[in-house]
Structure 1
Amino acid sequence: MALFSVAILAKVFYIQNVQGSYWRSIADSLHTRYVALDADRGTIYSEEGRMLSSSIPYFDIRIDFAADGLRDKQGKVFRENLDSLALCLSQLFNDRSKEEYKTLLREGYKSKDRYFLLKRDIPFNQYQTLRTLPMFRLGKNKGGMIAETKSKRINPFKLLANRTIGLARENSQSVGLERTYDEYLKGVTGKRLMRRIAGGTYVPVQGYDIEPENGRDIVTTIDVNMQDIVETALMNMMVQNECDHGTCILMEVKTGKIKAMANLGRQPDGSYWENMNYALQVGEPGSVFKLATVISVLEDKYATMNTMVDMEGGKWRVGRRTVFDSEPHPGPQNVTIKHAFELSSNVGMAKLAVQFYGKKPNSFVNHLKRLKLDTITGIDLVGEGRPIIKNTSARTWSNTTLPWMAFGYEVLVSPLQTAMLYNAVANNGKMMKPYLVNSIMEYGQVVKQFEPTVVMDSICSQTTLRQVQAMLAGVVTNGTAKKLQNQYYTFAGKTGTALVANGSRGYADKIYQASFAGYFPANDPQYTCVVVIKNKPHALRFYGASVAGPVFREVADKLYALAVEKQAPMQANVKLDTMLAMKTGKAAEWNEILHTLQLPAAALPAANAWVSAKVTNQKVNFQQVTQQRGAVPDVTGMGLKDALYLLENAGLRVVVKGAGKVKTQSLAGGTKIGNEQTIVIELS
């Protein structure tokens, strides 16, 4: 028995001291666990610093009913605050009566629940109010309130560029910039040690948190005002014509920055929402693709824009198929390539392709590849569709493939690729990569800067470039977009109307895709804009010039007024407008005005003086206004602020009539001030 007792004691000693740490860790693992603490996700900003997507805090509120303060003195704090707390909770949340809250709180107190759930997902303003309520205002140890913070992602502008900015979703794949830059935005997740208590509930263990690192911020190229203009213009046409879906892309010519990208799709209830990024989806582009055809022909020097081509009355037989022009072209049929392009003749473009590339179609295909139409643009968005440019080795190649490719069929490209090509023409041949993010910021400091990227220094020779620029301008002045032109500025572009197949029904439903791709102003391009809209079946309006063209025109009109027409910089040799509103006032303020506006002055007045100003010999001249003590100040010519300052400091009661600067005063300047005198000043 003695030996057996010694053996037991030895084993106890061994387990406790030698294996103790191991068994304690096993025990702890059964009762504790780490949970992730999400970092605050970074904010996405517009180029001018407006918030496009951000995280706002929400709170789960729990109560520790075993807190020392609530149990002390037989629960004195709880009993004294129960009634008023229940009333306040009922008024704050408006979901239960006072009596129901009292019952709920009593049950939690009776169970000594250390992690009692009171309310989920309350916003920050309610959380602030909650902290001031009876009992909760005493703090965690005395009042028992536990607040668990979590965040929700919001887009303050809602529809505006919603699909481009994207969505950060917890249980499914994120999209847009939220997905592309998730690595920067999400930050580093922290940890919190949780201990299991009675009832299987876990509560935080104080002092064992590993704080998360907040995500970085993204500054985009998007301009909110421009995005609003683009979104509104596209929405107006979508609603008017009951279109199925559409996209509008606005690109800065010199840099490739995407300033706006709108994507609208029709919902089951007839409304429109940014449900998909149609700018990245590939499809048959239609007549806007004819730009690539004429670049190929002109660059190979097979023809010039003045070479003649026969439009054949808008119908031309190729093998067993017939090429049709989408619009009738009355008048002469033997026209220049330039005019055939302006009239958007499918026959004209098909004949050029067959005539010059019929025996070597891959030469034409190689031109399309050189224009980067067979590769994605590489924009910083996940999900860009892969284009298809067929060659003669393709299984679907036939003797009609080449002529149909010439006017935008049997090829698949995205609206964004079209924008990149047209932008290169606007940018004197230099092709820029489209991009959406300017920089990545951390605590207000730039940690990564993105610069414009040149894809190709020149897409063609300058001779070819000048000709295609003239042809695009001719579409607006003398072609299918003639009705869109205006007297204030010029723009250049190309209309497109493509018949779209509808699944197994083929082309029977007469669904047309309307397009317009162009840039403005034509003489000094600042922005490229591409509009692609898929119409409903059998739509009354379906041509590119009547559906997509007006969207382009509305965007161009508003942007030309806001941004493109730049004012000439102020010269050092300033000619002053003698109609300037010159007010009498404080010399110190006048000195600041002179410095800020760089206005020439004969001499600077003393800072503490009051002066009147006038323009003589193209310079501002000042004359000091004398103010006698005990006399009514002369405030004629002053603004209301300065006049009130002087008159009230002189002890006068002031009655003001009108607006502007002081025209007359009821008491003349220099009049002796009596007791409690009132002065009336009239402004104009």
Structure 2
Amino acid sequence: MHIQFLDKTNWKAISKERRVRYQPVYATRGNIYSDNDVSSGNESILATSLPFYRVAFDPTIAETQVFNAGVDSLAMLLARFYGDKSEDHYRRRIKNARTNGRRYIRLNSRQINYQDKKMMAQWPIFRAGKNRGGVIFEKVEKRFKPFGLLAERTIGFVNVDKNGAGLEFSFNDNLSGTDGEALFERIAGGNKPIYDGTEVKPQHGYDIKTTIDINLQDVAENALYKALAKTDADYGCVIMMEVKTGEIKAIANLGKTKGGYIEDYNYAVGNQGRTEPGSTFKLASMMALFEHTNVKLSDSVDTGHGSFRIKGRTMTDSKIGGYGKITVQEVFEKSSNIGVAKLTEEYFGNNPKAFTDYLNRFGLGSTLGFQMDGEARPYLKSPQDRSWSATSLASMSIGYELKLSPLQTLAFYNAVANNGVKIQPIIVKEIRKTDNVIQTFQTRVLDEKICSDETLKKLRAMMEGVVEHGTAKNIRSNDYKVAGKTGTARKVKNGKYVKTYSTSFVGYFPADNPKYSCIVIIDSPRGVNVYGGDVAAPVFKELADKAYARDLAMHKPLLARVVPNKESMPDIRSGSLDDLSLICNKIGISSHSKSPDEDWVHVEPQKRSLVFKPNPVNDAIVPDVTGMTLRDALFILENQRLRVKVEGTGKRVQRQSLAPGATIEKEGQIILVLS
């Protein structure tokens, strides 16, 4: 009685004060784009925030006449739209809330999209707006990835605790924007906004433009998935980047789960992907040798019968019986552990620190300063370490007793492709606000010259030999040259090396003018052939073939090799004037047209030239397509609304069932006989 009646005024004031408070109004998160021209409007969105809404209502605001005239229709529309409750339920709920003076009810928990919001805003009572009709559209934003799971881990996420991974987390400060605030009243059923002019509008997040090529990303993930599924491997990753710019065009990471393979971790960059690289590290060992000595590619190394004891450790080669006496070039091509270890011991055995100093000089002991959080720190053993042993030098020379991430290995190989210039890989090019560029990122040069030109020449020759004659000859291409190195490293389990492998291939193409570098890791493949050349290299080739096919700048000009034979006219009979003129100009055949305004022509050979005669195509008249290629004939006939049936095989139309010049009947059919 004392609280309810005697102190009523005091407690009401306190209640009202506590019901009204400022709450954040969250900013819209910025978009993440692939590497397209954002200003042209043709960009591909990798991640965006889509607005959704929950519909709430203050039934006390509307005037009595407006409310009574619209409540029945409003209840009917709500019941039809949501389909969960009856019309009578919505009518009774709204009227009861108005009668009891309730200023906020959430009509339904289901979220609606923007188009539904626009439609509902025109419904009875609602159409009067939030101040006179009482409708409240509560905005709820959802992060949406138009390409589904493509590059999922690279795009990443940010959770409610502000923790996360990938680009979403690494660039969260730019993407998130600045939240605003507004006055909200806490009432039964939820929080109702009060627009009193004191609200602060949120500053929406910036967009980021990545270097990712969505087409190459798709090929990388599909090729990786097929290789993992085929070999039942534990995980895999692929990175592809441009040699000169360091821009990462594709980065795929797939790990094995009960349901298949998903992007569960960024193996390409993070600690879980940091492993002993195995034979791909032999490039660094050979670089150190060439910088330190005068060793030539033609020099001989006796690798013996496939087993060799070095300071108490037995080292073996993959070939049973060994390779015997081979050249330094062949040591690399065949990936001879014995050959590399013997050379390293011969020239660095008395001073192993000189070897590790070279590795650090090449930047292999340092992080790259990558734009995404979580880059693994490389581990290079030093002779000063307590764990250093008499066999550490030989082990390190073939890629053991050290750890690198795939991205760090790729950056090293990319430096060889880039004439010795080691650059920092990048994955974000720009930060934008609508069409305005706020910040631009360019790759940073980490080392102007990683080694001498003479060393580079030897290294590139060895890497090309791996694909031409060595462990990766299965991916040799007749269209372009590839340079690279396979890797097959034993895994450690319970402190011991076991017969489970991490396989890899890393290289660049075209070898004579490098455009792209790429690394592929397939970890713990199962089956008979579990070497890097068998498992990882084919993934590299599939991605390289796709990149080569779509980049005309890398193609060799085939027409330049054609010697025109003017004694024999080409087999050209009929077709598009523009196409036929272009062909004649390219192969050096004289031609001229009697009617240059015509689109379609017949061809008449005259001595050493071709004459184009008009072949008019008119509406409602059957055209003459004899002598045309099937493609041209189909284009013309189907545009004339004719149903085309094809008989025979060949390149050109020999006969047509409807005579040229005849009237086209409605839904008529024409039969083409090919020869």
TM-score, normalised to structure 2, is: 0.80
Matches of 2:488 and 2:634, distance apart in 1? 62
Counterpart selection for 1:211 from 198, 201, 206: 201
Partner of 1:58: 52
Where do residues 425-440 of structure 1 align in structure 2 (5 Å cutoff)? Answer: 425-440=416-431
Secondary structure of 2:438's counterpart equals: strand
Where do residues 193-272 of structure 1 align in structure 2 (5 Å cutoff)? Answer: 193-196=183-186, 201-267=191-257, 269-272=258-261
CA RMSD, 1 decimal: 4.3
One-letter code of the match for 1:77?
Answer: A
Where do residues 393-404 of structure 1 align in structure 2 (5 Å cutoff)? Answer: 393-404=384-395
Counterpart selection for 2:334 from 327, 330, 343: 343
Matches of 2:32 and 2:447, distance apart in 1? 30
Counterpart selection for 1:516 from 486, 495, 505: 505
Matches of 2:535 and 2:388, distance apart in 1? 32
The 8 Å contact of residues 104 and 187 in structure 2, kept in 1 or not, is answered as no
Partner of 2:357: 366
Secondary structure of 2:437's counterpart equals: strand
Partner of 2:103: 114
The 8 Å contact of residues 502 and 523 in structure 2, kept in 1 or not, is answered as yes
Partner of 1:16: none
Matches of 1:591 and 1:266, distance apart in 2? 53
Partner of 2:264: 275
Matches of 2:481 and 2:306, distance apart in 1? 29
Partner of 2:23: 35
Q: Does 1:531 align with 2:523?
A: no
Q: CA deviation at 1:356?
A: 0.9
Secondary structure of 1:351's counterpart equals: helix
Partner of 1:288: 280
Q: CA deviation at 1:613?
A: 8.4
Q: Does 1:560 align with 2:548?
A: yes
Q: CA deviation at 1:288?
A: 0.4
Residues 633/497 of structure 1: CA separation in 2 closer, same or farther (3 Å cut) = closer
The 8 Å contact of residues 473 and 492 in structure 1, kept in 2 or not, is answered as yes
Counterpart selection for 2:534 from 536, 542, 546: 546
Q: Does 1:333 align with 2:305?
A: no
Partner of 1:4: none
C-alpha offsets along residues 424-479 of structure 1, whole Å, 9 cap, x if unaligned? 12222222221112222222233333334332232211211111111112222222
Q: Does 1:507 align with 2:499?
A: no
The 8 Å contact of residues 637 and 644 in structure 2, kept in 1 or not, is answered as no
Counterpart selection for 1:299 from 288, 291, 294: 291
The 8 Å contact of residues 85 and 135 in structure 1, kept in 2 or not, is answered as no
Matches of 1:328 and 1:665, distance apart in 2? 66
Secondary structure of 1:262's counterpart equals: strand
Identify unmatched segments of 5+ residues in structure 2. 1-12, 37-42, 626-631, 647-651
One-letter code of the match for 1:559?
Answer: A
One-letter code of the match for 2:299?
Answer: T
One-letter code of the match for 2:29?
Answer: R
**Higher alpha-carbon deviation: 344-353 or 452-461:** 452-461
Secondary structure of 2:255's counterpart equals: strand
Matches of 1:132 and 1:57, distance apart in 2? 19
Q: CA deviation at 1:155?
A: 1.6
Residues 400/356 of structure 1: CA separation in 2 closer, same or farther (3 Å cut) = same
Q: CA deviation at 1:354?
A: 1.6
Q: CA deviation at 1:323?
A: 3.8
The 8 Å contact of residues 303 and 322 in structure 2, kept in 1 or not, is answered as no
Partner of 1:481: 472
**Higher alpha-carbon deviation: 233-242 or 525-534:** 525-534
Residues 644/365 of structure 1: CA separation in 2 closer, same or farther (3 Å cut) = closer
Q: CA deviation at 1:515?
A: 1.1
Matches of 1:45 and 1:328, distance apart in 2? 48
Q: Does 1:316 align with 2:316?
A: no
Residues 633/185 of structure 1: CA separation in 2 closer, same or farther (3 Å cut) = same
C-alpha offsets along residues 203-233 of structure 1, whole Å, 9 cap, x if unaligned? 3224333222222222211111101111111
C-alpha offsets along residues 487-536 of structure 1, whole Å, 9 cap, x if unaligned? 4433121111111123xx23365331111111122223221111112116
Matches of 2:397 and 2:599, distance apart in 1? 76
Q: CA deviation at 1:154?
A: 1.7
One-letter code of the match for 1:522?
Answer: A
Residues 598/394 of structure 1: CA separation in 2 closer, same or farther (3 Å cut) = same
Q: CA deviation at 1:236?
A: 0.5
One-letter code of the match for 1:534?
Answer: D
The 8 Å contact of residues 174 and 206 in structure 2, kept in 1 or not, is answered as yes
One-letter code of the match for 1:345?
Answer: S
Secondary structure of 1:472's counterpart equals: helix
Secondary structure of 2:221's counterpart equals: helix
Where do residues 61-76 of structure 1 align in structure 2 (5 Å cutoff)? Answer: 61-69=55-63, 71-72=64-65, 75-76=67-68
One-letter code of the match for 2:283?
Answer: L
**Higher alpha-carbon deviation: 248-257 or 141-150:** 141-150
Secondary structure of 1:464's counterpart equals: helix
Matches of 2:207 and 2:575, distance apart in 1? 46
Partner of 2:5: none
Partner of 1:457: 448
The 8 Å contact of residues 341 and 395 in structure 2, kept in 1 or not, is answered as yes
One-letter code of the match for 1:301?
Answer: T
What is the aligned-residue identity percentage?
33
Matches of 1:314 and 1:369, distance apart in 2? 31
The 8 Å contact of residues 85 and 134 in structure 1, kept in 2 or not, is answered as no
Residues 491/133 of structure 1: CA separation in 2 closer, same or farther (3 Å cut) = same
Partner of 2:69: 77
Matches of 1:431 and 1:459, distance apart in 2? 7
Secondary structure of 1:501's counterpart equals: strand
**Higher alpha-carbon deviation: 220-229 or 296-305:** 296-305
Q: Does 1:174 align with 2:168?
A: no
Q: CA deviation at 1:625?
A: 8.1
One-letter code of the match for 2:437?
Answer: V
Matches of 2:665 and 2:356, distance apart in 1? 92
One-letter code of the match for 2:32?
Answer: I
**Higher alpha-carbon deviation: 32-41 or 632-641:** 632-641
**Higher alpha-carbon deviation: 41-50 or 481-490:** 481-490
Residues 567/680 of structure 1: CA separation in 2 closer, same or farther (3 Å cut) = farther
Partner of 2:401: 410
Partner of 1:15: none
Q: CA deviation at 1:98?
A: 4.3
C-alpha offsets along residues 30-64 of structure 1, whole Å, 9 cap, x if unaligned? 45322222222111111132111111111121111
Secondary structure of 2:51's counterpart equals: strand
Which protein shows a greater Rg?
1
Matches of 1:606 and 1:639, distance apart in 2? 20
Residues 529/664 of structure 1: CA separation in 2 closer, same or farther (3 Å cut) = closer
Q: CA deviation at 1:414?
A: 0.8
Secondary structure of 1:419's counterpart equals: helix
TM-score, normalised to structure 1, is: 0.80
Matches of 1:666 and 1:308, distance apart in 2? 76
Q: Does 1:422 align with 2:410?
A: no
One-letter code of the match for 1:76?
Answer: N
Identify unmatched segments of 5+ residues in structure 1. 1-24, 585-589, 648-653
Matches of 1:149 and 1:263, distance apart in 2? 34
Q: CA deviation at 1:332?
A: 4.5
Q: CA deviation at 1:194?
A: 1.9
C-alpha offsets along residues 83-137 of structure 1, whole Å, 9 cap, x if unaligned? 413432443xxx3444544454344334332221123351414434433545434
Residues 83/539 of structure 1: CA separation in 2 closer, same or farther (3 Å cut) = same
